[in-house]
Amino acid sequence: MQVIPVTTIHRGFGTTSRRDAWWATPLAVFVGLSAFVVYATWAAFQGEHYTYGPYLSPFYSPELFGDSPHAWFGPKPAAWPGWVPFSPALFILPFPGLFRFTCYYYRGAYYKAFWADPPSCAVGEPRKSYRGENSFPLVLQNAHRFFMWVALVFIVFLAYDVWLALWFTNPATGAKEFGIGVGTLILAVNVCLLAGYTWGCHVLRHVVGGRKDEVSKSPVCDMAYACVSGLNGRHQLFAWMSLFSVMSSDLYVRLCSMGILTDLRLL
């Protein structure tokens, strides 16, 4: 029987028989991720308005060097070159940024939205050549596991920030007193969402049990694998919610610090 090679009638970029709005999801991802990158870059270079009372913006946590009381090692190092812009966030943001950049969910999303590889499922691509993650530079995505370990440590720092956000300075006495403000709740929700995202990471799932063929032989691994798998099933949801929450947390602290918003004390 004669075989007609269908591949010769492949269509060009964006052509498809699909009737649905296949472009809507990649467009939403493009807009959402672009907005985050633009805001995060802008916020990182501000170098001010990142604390308010006991609150510290997650973009600047942990604050290694800086002028706020949250700084671990005091103000900007004297040896810092004058021509290099300084902001405490520049020490921090590359790590969670690279964790997200190399995340399996985000990879699939931005390959479609930013590189049209493919634009959407069963939709024609703009290029014929393709190397995937087989060779440089995308083979470097395999470094995701190292950023995952850093991200796990950052969850501890951010949780500690929530603890600190429970202790307000009494302006009359100067003493620390327990309290809960709207900012405390925002930072608490943020760390929960970030933990949901980080603890559902595919690499963590592999490390705690996925690498074993008989994970049931190790009860601790077995339980951890089940927990991480549960979160992993909602990885996309946590990826977006935590992205939104971390941006909202920074914005809230920033607006309070600038005097545009008033932080309500609930307790």
Partner 1 sequence: MQATFRIWRSKAAEGGGFVDYPTEVSEGMVVLDAVHQIQADQAPDLACRWNCKAGKCGSCSAEINGRPKLMCMTRLNTLDLTQPVTVEPMRTFPLMKDLVTDVSWNFRVKPTIKKFTPRKPDAADGTWRMAQRDADRVQEFRKCIECFLCQDVCHVLRDHDKHDEFIGPRFFTYSAALEMHPLDSADRLRDLKDTHGIGYCNITKCCTKVCPEHIHITDNAIIPLKERVVDRFYDPVTRLLRVFSGGRAT
What residues from 71 to 110 belong to the interface with partner 1 (CB under 8 A)? 104-105, 107-108
Q: Quick one: CA torsion of 234, 236, 241, 246, rounded to 10 degrees?
A: 120
Burial of 206 (0-12, 13-18, 19+ CB in 10 A): middle
Query: Is 125 among the residues that bind partner 1 (CB under 8 A)?
Result: yes
| Interaction between residue 28 and partner 1 (CB under 8 A) | no
Among 190, 232, 245, 257, binds partner 1 (CB under 8 A): 232
Hey, what are 100's tokens? Answer: 């997200």
User: 189 burial class (0-12, 13-18, 19+ CB within 10 angstroms)?
Assistant: middle
In the complex, minimum distance from the CB of residue 259 to partner 1, in angstroms, rounded to a whole number: 45
Of the pair 20, 171, the CB lying nearest partner 1 is at: 20
Residue from 165, 186, 195, 203 that binds partner 1 (CB under 8 A)? 203
Least CB distance to partner 1 at residue 239 (A): 13
Place of tokens 């009737």: 19
Q: Is 7 in the site for partner 1 (CB under 8 A)?
A: yes
Task: Return the bridge partners of 50, or none.
Answer: none
Torsion sign over Cα 92, 245, 193, 32: negative
Q: Residue 137, interface with partner 1 (CB under 8 A)?
A: no
Terminal alpha carbon distance of the chain: 80
CB of 194 to partner 1, least distance (A): 20
**CB 138 → partner 1: shortest distance, Å?**
8
Q: Is 18 in the site for partner 1 (CB under 8 A)?
A: yes
Residue 86 or residue 111: which is nearer to partner 1 going by CB? 111
User: Binding to partner 1 by residue 124, rule CB under 8 A?
Assistant: yes
CB contact at 8 A, 147 and 99: yes
Hey, what are 239's tokens? Answer: 């990826």
**Distance of alpha carbon 150 from alpha carbon 154, whole angstroms:** 6
| Residues found near partner 1 in the complex (CB under 8 A) | 1-10, 16-20, 104-105, 107-108, 111-112, 117-118, 121-122, 124-125, 128-135, 138-139, 142, 145, 202-203, 205-206, 210-211, 213-217, 222, 232-233, 235
